[in-house]
Structure formats: C-alpha cells, structure tokens
Structure 1
Amino acid sequence: MLDGNRLWDDLLIHAGFGDKAAGGAGDHATASWIAGELSKVGYQLETIPVPVPTFRSRRCELVGQGSSVEVYPQSVVFPTPDHGVEGRLAIVHSLSDAQRAAGCIAVILLPYGRHAAIWTSVVGPLLEAVTKADALAAIILPFGPTGEIVGLNSYADRPFVPLPLAIGRPLDLPCYAAMASAGQPVRLYLSGDVETGDSPTLVARMARGDRWIVLSTPRSGFFTCSVERGTGTAGFLEIARWLPRAFPAHSLFLMNSGAHELRFAGTHAALDLAPAPDKTDVWAHFGAGLASRARTEIRGGRMLDVADFNRICMVTPALREAAGAAFAGLPGLDDPQHVLSEAGELSTIVQKGYKKAFACLGVNWSCHTRLDLPTEVSRSLLEPVIEAHRRLIEVSVHGK
C-alpha cells in the first residue's frame, strides 16, 4: 500500500526547490532529488540532455507616465535592447482590433479562463494578427481566477512570434488603461541574455521480466507549481517505490521529463527509449494538477476543503471501464474521457501505439501562477487520487 505521510512530505520537499522553469536552478535541484530517490529503490538511471533556451533577465517592466508595472518574459524570449522598446499602447480585445496595434505595443486582453498554453488558446491567433499588423511588441493580460501573471506553455525552438512578448498582471489593468488613454509613448523593457541551458529527462529502468510497466511525469513548470507539478511528482515517486514490490516479474521503465512548458520537449527527447508497445502492459502518466482545493469567487472567495473538479482522466479505450471503477467518487476524474490532443504528453505517447495508457490532469485555480503553493492542496485530497492510480495500474496488469 501507499505511504500517505511520505507522499505529502515529498510534495513539501518539491515546493522547497522553488521556481522550476526549464533549465533553471530549481529544475536541476528537483531532478537531482528525484534521481536520488529512484536510485534508493534500485532503479538504474540514465540522463538524457534536453537543450532549452533560458533567459537571464536584467530588467522586465513597462514604464510610462510616472508609473511602472511588472511584466514576465514569455519563453522563448525575444528580448528588447537594454533601452527597451518605445511606443503607445493599443488595447486589443479581438481580431478586429489587431490593426490598431500597428506601430504600437499591443496589450492583448484574454477572456476569463484558466489559461495554460499559447497554441491551445485564443491568444495564438491574436498574437499572429498583431504581428502581421506590425506591432512593436505585445503584452498579454490573461484574465482568470487569480488576476495574477500566468505563465503560458509555448514552443521549444523559437519565439511564438518574432517580437518582444511579455505576460502582464490582469489586476494592473487600470494602469494599462490609463497609459493607453493618455496616448503618450511608454517603454517596454525585456532586457537580458538568451542562453542555452539543459532541462534533462531522467530515465530509470529495472530490468527483470519480458513484460513492462511504464510510469512517467513531467518535472519543469512555472514558479513553485506545487499543484501543477508537485502532486504528480509526489505520486510518481510513491508509485515508483511500490512497483518493484507489487510486480516482481515485470520490468519497469520510468521517465521524468524536462522542458514540459516548451511543448513537452523532454518527452519527445526520450520517448523512443521506452519499451515497445507490444511489450508494455500499461503506461501510467502523472499529469498536472492531480488534486487541489476548490475556491469560491464571491467577494474575494474562500478556499474549501473539497476537490476542485476542473480535472480530467484520459484513457485509451481498453482502460475506460476499469478507469471508471478505479477513480469512482473523485469528481472530474470519475468519468474517463478519450485522449485529448496536446493536453499534456499522453496524446504523444498514445500515437506510438500503446493500447493501455492513461493520464489524469487538472488546471487548478492558481495554475501557472506564483500562488500555486502547498496551501492549494491537502493530503486528504491527494492521497485518494494516487491510490486510484495504483488500483488502475494493478487492474491493467492483472486484469482483476
């Protein structure tokens, strides 16, 4: 059985490594810790380098009319010169507004939502439109539950658009509106150095029988990411400790991938090392936001001790019935769905031909913000989700 105390302790250890942007110090520290934990169990480790663009910033802010606001550089960063980019602000709500961004710094107001990626969001077409209109730069205000800066997954090999691009804080909208209304030039600074770092993918093996069980989870992410990455990491480690005892005749393949927020680059780098689909009894992928506390939004809201149901369990057809039984009683996960394209790494895995594969993921209230901290989840919400993963793995292999 699983150790709930250790599961929770691992989530807290994970939080202690801080910001986990791909290729950064927190990402590397987390990778070293995970490698150490897997080695203790007896797995043989291999490290797959995953080159990633990193950004060493000097100044990231918008300045104008005696005020300034923080902005967050969107990866892959297209930096400004040290003296910034100067222009008037143009507020853009929709594609029909894009032309007004010509010669200006576009401020793109995204509709309210739980935003997580550029390419699956309405922001992609808006960015392409303001770029075509010859905007000087763009700032995205991703309106959502927190009002804070929201990191957005993007491409690994190039900026999403060839102009300086930043994420602003929607709660700062009054300041943006005042600057835009004044019609005076403002200055955007995204100055710093784009460098090449490494967000390695860890591969762990325990070779025994002819049949394989595969376990995977991504590692890198935005800010502390206690719900987004911590819940899956803690679950991954706990199941990794349980597997050798539960399946002594099976070989085990584990993958802890880097560069998740860069279009899953770490998974792509190591996927061909996995055992063949016809030798794999089940692939269990631990996605984002497995469990988090729900919140109300009335007059500032309050945190509840029940699960946020904005999550999904995706399965291949062969596991649908078993998954429904394993995740019964867990809101959002108890009605398994087909595998969604690019909702995490699972669709890439399934395309390789794995017939028994599943992944749970959620987009929690604070996803991709600085507020994604251990207080957003509890042991009582996380433990039953990891136990459901254990049950489904067991049924997938033993068929009972």
Structure 2
Amino acid sequence: MRTVDRRTALISGLGAATLPAMPALAAPDPLSGTALYADVKAYAGLGEHRTGTAGDNATTAWLEKALKAAGYTTERQAFDYPVFELGACDIVLGGRTLESFPYWTPTATPPAGLTAPLSVAGGAGKIALVDLPPGTGAGLEAPPPAPIVAAVDSGAVAVIAITENPLGELLAMNRNPKAPAWRCPVLLAAGRDAAALKAAAQAGTLVSVRLEGRSRPGQAQNVIGRRKGPGKPIVISTPKSGWRHCAGERGSGIAIWLGLAAALATRPDLNLVVVCSAGHEFDGYGAHLFTRAGAPKPADTRLWVAIGANVAVYDHVLKDGKVVRLPGPPKARTIGASAPLIATTAKAFAGQVGYEMPLDLDAHNAPGELATFRKLGYRPLIGLVAASPLHHSAKDLPDVTGPAMLEPVAKALHQTILGALA
C-alpha cells in the first residue's frame, strides 16, 4: 500500500515565516497498474497462503499495516483452524520423481514412504490410481470426488489422483472445512504424468509415494478495516488465503481491494467496511464467519462488492510442451450486479473481455463466495470472478498478471462503485 509523500524544506538560519509553503507532492494513484502490481508481488513474496500457515499470518500483518496507512481502524477476526505442516511430498515411478501435492486432510506415509503396485481397481496392498475430470476441486462446498472415496474405501494403502487441465499442471483441490484425515495418504498428480501413471497401473508396476508432515492446532484471521462515515456502510470483500502462492487467483484481487480501499478512503462522505478473509480454500470458512459476526446485516448495508478469483490475469496455453502467456485475459470472466446496477457496470467495463455483459444477480446465482453473499440477501451486490488454467497450480506466480492487466479492471470497478452510489 502506498502512503502520501510530503516535501519539506529547511534552510539554515531562516525562520519558517520567511519561506513560502511547499506544496505536498501528489499522492500516487492507488489504482495505477504499477502500484497494483507492486502489491501482487509483495503478496506472493510472503510465501504460500494456505490458511493458518506462516505465509497467511504474514499476509494478515501486511494487510493490517496497509489499511492503517490508508486511514482505517483495523481488527482481526480470529478463528481456530488446524494446520498440516507439509514436508516432502512426491511420487516415484521408474526412477523418476513426479510432482505431487496432498489432498486435504492429509494422512502421512511412514517416514521413508511406501511402495506398492499401482492399480486402477485399488484394493488391499495396492496404491489406487484415480483420474479426475477437469475442474474437479476448484469450486466451494462440494463433496470429495466419489472415485477418491471409493479408492480409499477399497482398502488401498494410498491413492494417487490425477488432476487434469489444459496445461497438464497439478491443481490443488478445495476441501470441506475441518474434514477428517483420510484413512490412507491421498496424493494429487499432474495431468502431464497421466499417460505414464495409467500405463503403470495397467501393468501393476511398483510405485513409491511419500507424504511427510504433521497436523498441529493453528489459528487464522480475517482482516477487517473500518472507515466511519455517514449512512449505511459499503462492504468490499476478497479472500486472502489459498493454495500455493496464488498470485493471480488471490493476489490480483487483493491488490485491487487494497487500491479501492485507498481510493475510497479519500471520500469523507462514505462509510466503509473492507474485509479480507481467510479459509477460502476450505469452503470460504472465514467469509462465512464474517457474515455471522462482524458484517453489517443485509438491511443495514448500502452496497456489497465481492472480488473473487483470478479477476485480472492473463490467459495461458501449452505450446511445444511449455506454458506460454497470451496477451489477453481468459474468456471465462464473469461480473455480476444487482439489476439496478447492470447498466452502470456494463458502461464501466465496456470492451473488457468477459466483463462487458454483466450477469443479473437478482435472477442468477454466481460462483464462489459471491454466492454466499447473494444467498444471504445482500443487495445491491456487485461481484466478479474469472477462470485461469493456472488456478491452484504451483505456476500461479506474479507473472500471471501485470500492470496492464490490473489497472483497467481496478479503475472500471472503482467507476462502477461510484456510479452505484450516485
């Protein structure tokens, strides 16, 4: 977050009254692409952002400091949440180590890992192989995939689940809040390794898996900023936690959230509440908590703006075996607004792929945490969310976005909010 710089001049031997007042330097634009991208990089630089981990806790402190600099009073809404401290996690097939990541809630292997025949059918003494449909585990409030449940129930000593996406990446999967640990280790594998794993399963080849780590009691915090003003409050929300570094999934939205918080704080006529919630990858746990205690009631809210996943990222494709960034955003981008705000939203986002035709939130549901706020009756409501082929992957790093991608979305959303309040 940026603060206003002021220039002062002191000249030895002269009294202040003899000098003309020096003008304050203009405050940097908090919605400029340069400022927004600096925040994306700062967020990603704090580490992985899984709920309750060191990276998540560092993010809490960073956001709190930024909000205070913008003139907000802050509070932390804490909640207990178990943390699995992940160590080594890998799959070894034919002497080759494959990328892997646990499916929550993890059960560790023995320290040296375990080796068993790979099998599509699973069963006692086998490591079961499951191939998941694309998109599995990306949404909220969905039960665990039935093939994984069946593989665990088969008595397998471990389960490997292939996550499929167009880039062949391994995608972490969201999980129900505080789900009990699996009865055996469940590891996710990348789609790029699907052919090798399926051939090994057909042949009953020995495969080794290792999942090290331990569970411990932990705590996470929602960060809430309040800037008192007249009238009912405007609420602006975005999640702060997620799998891996999630620079595009979470970072692009957090940067825009910070920019809007700073830009709107210059308006003394606005009553503002901004919240960045933890527990998103666990079915939006922190957002649910905020709506139960901390948020104004729907009847007492002037406007709710929900900033979801991947709101300002570039699209990517696989070319010659490499992930290549395209010059524009993914086509799968959605912005929704309550019916009275559709025209205002469409005008602000004109020409922005996927956002130029707002969804009527009075007539249609929406994905992610936006659905939670809609269901609770918050109106008027504005929300945006987008898809990304790097969603939940280890490659979701700062270069998935940039100043030229962030600024148009941030300024259009700012324009939409001001239009909604007119």
Give the TM-score normalised by the residue count of structure 2. Answer: 0.84
> 1:33 maps to what in 2?
62
> 2:372 maps to what in 1?
348
Partner-residue secondary structure (3-state), 2:145: helix
> 1:71 maps to what in 2?
100
1:271 corresponds to which of 291, 296, 299: 291
Residues 154-165 of structure 1: matches in 2 within 5 Å?
154-159=175-180, 162-165=183-186
Asked if the contact 2:253/2:312 (under 8 Å) is kept, the reply is no
Mapped to 2, the partners of 1:228 and 1:71 lie a distance apart of 20
Asked if the contact 1:291/1:308 (under 8 Å) is kept, the reply is no
Offset of residue 25 of structure 1? 1.6
Asked if the contact 1:87/1:185 (under 8 Å) is kept, the reply is yes
Partner-residue secondary structure (3-state), 1:69: strand
Mapped to 2, the partners of 1:67 and 1:235 lie a distance apart of 41
Mapped to 2, the partners of 1:315 and 1:213 lie a distance apart of 15
Offset of residue 342 of structure 1? 7.3
1:167 corresponds to which of 188, 197, 209: 188
1:106 maps onto 2:158 in alignment: no
Partner-residue secondary structure (3-state), 2:226: strand
- Give CA-to-partner distance per residue, 1:165-207, whole Å, 9 cap, x none: 2111222234423532442443432232111222210111122
Q: Which amino acid aligns with 2:36?
A: L
In percent, how many aligned pairs have the same letter?
A: 28
Residues 150-229 of structure 1: matches in 2 within 5 Å?
150-159=171-180, 162-229=183-250
Mapped to 1, the partners of 2:61 and 2:38 lie a distance apart of 17
Residues 368-383 of structure 1: matches in 2 within 5 Å?
368-383=392-407
Give the TM-score normalised by the residue count of structure 1. Answer: 0.89
Larger CA deviation: 42-51 vs 70-79: 70-79
Structure 2: give runs of 5+ residues left out of the alignment. Answer: 1-28
Mapped to 1, the partners of 2:231 and 2:181 lie a distance apart of 43
Residues 293-312 of structure 1: matches in 2 within 5 Å?
293-300=314-321, 302-312=324-334
Offset of residue 327 of structure 1? 1.8
Higher fraction of helix: 1
Offset of residue 317 of structure 1? 3.2
Offset of residue 238 of structure 1? 0.5
Specify the structure having the higher radius of gyration (Cα).
2
Larger CA deviation: 259-268 vs 11-20: 11-20
Partner-residue secondary structure (3-state), 1:88: strand
Q: Which amino acid aligns with 2:343?
A: E
Larger CA deviation: 169-178 vs 344-353: 169-178
Mapped to 2, the partners of 1:254 and 1:138 lie a distance apart of 41
Partner-residue secondary structure (3-state), 2:119: strand
- Give CA-to-partner distance per residue, 1:4-55, whole Å, 9 cap, x none: 1322221221222121111112111111111100011121111111222222
Length, aligned pairs only: 388
Structure 1: give runs of 5+ residues left out of the alignment. Answer: 92-99
Offset of residue 139 of structure 1? 1.7
Offset of residue 243 of structure 1? 1.3
1:145 maps onto 2:174 in alignment: no
Mapped to 2, the partners of 1:71 and 1:133 lie a distance apart of 22
Partner-residue secondary structure (3-state), 1:217: strand
> RMSD between aligned alpha carbons?
2.5
Partner-residue secondary structure (3-state), 2:105: coil
Asked if the contact 2:50/2:242 (under 8 Å) is kept, the reply is yes
> 2:9 maps to what in 1?
none
Mapped to 2, the partners of 1:73 and 1:288 lie a distance apart of 22
> 2:350 maps to what in 1?
328
Partner-residue secondary structure (3-state), 1:224: coil
1:255 corresponds to which of 259, 271, 275: 275
Mapped to 2, the partners of 1:118 and 1:84 lie a distance apart of 31
Offset of residue 223 of structure 1? 1.6
Asked if the contact 1:107/1:140 (under 8 Å) is kept, the reply is yes
Partner-residue secondary structure (3-state), 1:62: strand
Partner-residue secondary structure (3-state), 1:209: coil
Larger CA deviation: 274-283 vs 228-237: 274-283
> 1:97 maps to what in 2?
none
Offset of residue 360 of structure 1? 0.8
Offset of residue 260 of structure 1? 0.9
Partner-residue secondary structure (3-state), 2:414: helix
Mapped to 1, the partners of 2:72 and 2:44 lie a distance apart of 24
